[in-house]
Structure 1
Amino acid sequence: MEKRVKEILDKNKKYIEGGNLPTYIPELRNANKDALGIYISSLDGTEWGAGDYMYPFTIQSISKVVTLLIALQDRGVEIFEKVGMEPTGDAFNSMMKLELIQPSKPFNPMINAGAIAVTSMIFGNYEERFDKILGFFRKITNNPKLDINQKVYLSEKRTGDKNRAMAYYMKDVGVLQGDVEEHLDIYFKQCSIEVTCRDIANIAAFIANKGVLPKTNEKLISDEYIKIAKTFMFTCGMYNASGEFAINVGIPSKSGVGGGIMSVVPNRMGIGVVGPALDSKGNSIAGIKILEDLSNEYDLSIF
């Protein structure tokens, strides 16, 4: 399989040309558009990578899956009193339905508004909450050196006006409690955690293993909350291309505008892909093609 994965990666490099680097976070324009890598972490203990699998990138929206799990551990399903469970069909940073739909609340935790609301519900003060998030990331990636990319964090903070507008609107309608700027700052930091394909493959393997760390057998998250996270990944994880991805690939996945895609093959493996060149929906253009070929060849679809 290792040799074949490299062949699949090489075959799909041609799609990079049709993608673009994101522009709305200025620092992300400095990414290497041509980078393309994949890492697979199987639950039987075997791991391997191909291409630029150690290329560093910021986790961005993939972080939403992890903060959802932390918030569920802290508060349980009561978080869904403030955040919905349905796909939107809109862009990840759209705020249109916040005002159109009553009562007003974000449609799901995988869009920006929903993720900001979820982060705000994690227990603790400002320092405790981010320390909890970063510590959990370090544990489930098995990477104690994981940290934020300061340049990307500051770039997001300076230019995050749309996220700021959504957050203040949610404060006005009672979705957010407390200090809006503190919630936003934690959100910008969580999105700016710098990872590699190996790191996100390890997170995916943890989820594929029902909340148990494969290397230590330590149970960290309940089966119920893992099931919720996988469902959101499947229905909403690839922005407003989630339905098409579900048909063509069929694996619970979450993408980020840093170019990463984290994919969970339940009870089998975790997959991390990076390709900073994005399609019009904000997903790695070559990364999607790699996962499509991989799923078809090895029958990874959950259907």
Structure 2
Amino acid sequence: MERERTFHTPTDYQQAMLHAWAQYATLKGGENASYIPYLAQVPAHLCAVAIVTVDGEVFSTGDADYRFALESISKVCTLALALEDVGANDVQEKIGADPTGLPFNSVIALELHQGKPLSPLVNAGAMSAVSLINARDSEHRWARILNMQQRLAGAAVTLSDEVNRSEQTTNFHNRAIAWLLYSAGTLYCDAMEACEVYTRQCSTLVNTVELATLGATLAAAGVNPRTKEQVLSAANTPFILAEMTMEGMYGSSGDWAYTVGLPAKSGVGGGIVAVVPGVMGIAAFSPPLDAAGNSVRGQKLVASIAHQLGHNLYRCG
């Protein structure tokens, strides 16, 4: 039986957002990611939250115009493009749809599963997804991934040379993962091309409203509610949301599903996006992270809004 959609007024969204903001915008705790030099320097006090509905309504507060590194949230965009290019069956067969149970950059996870990444939302699976994109060469591959980011966010998302330089000069671990994938036959282009393009995709900048728009596009079955473009096929959005549920919040994905009940994806740049199918995208940004790599304030802000508005996919009635 199909669940009845909960309808809210603009005032409901605004009040829920402001209530969450009042509670958590100055919450203490966590530390910026330090293994990427650029991220360590982002002011820790920055904070923002935004809602974009499937009807294109926008609500935001805080540093919502500040542009931050997309980081691992970019994996959602490349997954979307891979699904469009090769289809859901190939993505599941070649990459997988299960949590690894290990850190997002784990080499052991690859060894334990004979080189199969298991999830496109961990580093190994994300590089495998990059390699599945239909492309003539590395620049064409990169251009197509950037274009998908722009269309999902409904904005001129651009590469930050500073972030990219900071990441490309410290990505030795990912290069090793790429070669392991290649040796196992689970990488489908040149190993260093996949790693380099993957690093670039993590180095683009978005603001919180654009991130919420990305979430709202998934909530609206692939239609960007602000540009009205059908960015990806409606048939592919459930696969993306399933992957986000399984591995979107790193090692805390199960706890997030248990307590919040929404598909979500975080990045070590401090961003989090959650999706309420058929209703809205919720995004938050704040650089200090917990031990799992998720924004401390961002989790609280998104969870508070979802709870206040009564959105949990596992709630029956």
* TM-score tier (shorter): over 0.9
1:283 to 275, 278, 294: 294
Deviation at 1:136, TM superposition (A): 1.9
Partner deviation per Cα, 1:45-90 (whole Å, 9 max, x = no partner): 3211011111210100101111001011111121333212111221
- Cα distance in 2 for partners of 1:206, 1:101 equals 33
Give the AA of the match of 1:8: A
Unaligned runs of 5+ in 2: 1-12
Task: Provide TM-score, normalisation by structure 2.
Answer: 0.91
Aligned partner of 1:100 in structure 2 is 112
1:214 pairs with 2:214: no
**Contact 1:74–1:123 (CA under 8 A) maintained in structure 2:** yes
User: Structure 1 CA distance, aligned partners of 2:187 and 2:212?
Assistant: 32
Query: What residue identity is the alignment partner of 1:52?
Result: D
Q: Does 1:44 align with 2:65?
A: no
Deviation at 1:198, TM superposition (A): 0.9
Aligned equivalents of 1:75, 1:214: Cα separation in 2: 25
Give the Cα separation in 1 of the matches to 2:217 and 2:134: 23
Which residue is 1:78 aligned to?
90
* Structure 2 counterparts to residues 191-270 of structure 1, below 5 A: 191-270=202-281
For 1:18, what is the secondary structure of its paired residue?
A: coil
Shifted more, 177-186 versus 112-121: the winner is 177-186
Determine the C-alpha separation between the residues in 2 that align with 1:231 and 1:4. Answer: 26
Quote the Cα distance in structure 2 between the aligned partners of 1:142 and 1:296: 27
The answer on whether the counterparts of 2:223 and 2:231 sit within 8 Å (CA) in structure 1 is yes
Query: Aligned partners of 2:265 and 2:209: how far apart in 1?
Result: 15
Residue identity matched to 2:110: L
Residue segments in structure 1 that go unaligned for 5+ positions in a row: none
Q: Does 1:63 align with 2:74?
A: yes
One-letter amino acid matched to 2:160:
N
Once the two structures are superposed, what CA deviation does each residue of 1:256-288 show, in whole Å capped at 9, x if it has no partner?
000000111110111111011000000001111
Give the CA deviation at 1:14.
4.1
Query: Could you tell me how far apart the structure 2 residues matched to 1:247 and 1:14 are?
Result: 25
**Pairing 1:106-125 to 2, within 5 Å after superposition:** 106-124=117-135, 125=137
SS in structure 1 at match of 2:96: coil
1:147 is matched with which residue? 158
Distance 1:153 1:237 in 2: 22
Q: Is residue 2:181 matched to residue 1:165?
A: no
Which is worse superposed, 209-218 or 244-253? 209-218
Post-superposition shift, 1:215?
3.5
- The answer as to whether partners of 1:6 and 1:51 remain within 8 angstroms in 2 is no
User: 1:88 touches 1:240 (CA, 8 Å); kept in 2?
Assistant: no
Q: Which amino acid aligns with 1:281?
A: A
Tell me the equivalent position of 1:87.
99
Q: C-alpha displacement at 1:107, in angstroms?
A: 1.5
Normalized against structure 1, the TM-score is what? 0.95
> Following TM superposition, by how much is the alpha carbon of 1:254 offset from its aligned partner in structure 2, in angstroms?
0.3
Q: Work out the percentage of aligned pairs sharing the same amino acid.
A: 36
Report the count of equivalent residues.
300
Give the ranges of 4+ consecutive aligned residues of structure 1 lying more than 4 Å apart after TM superposition: none
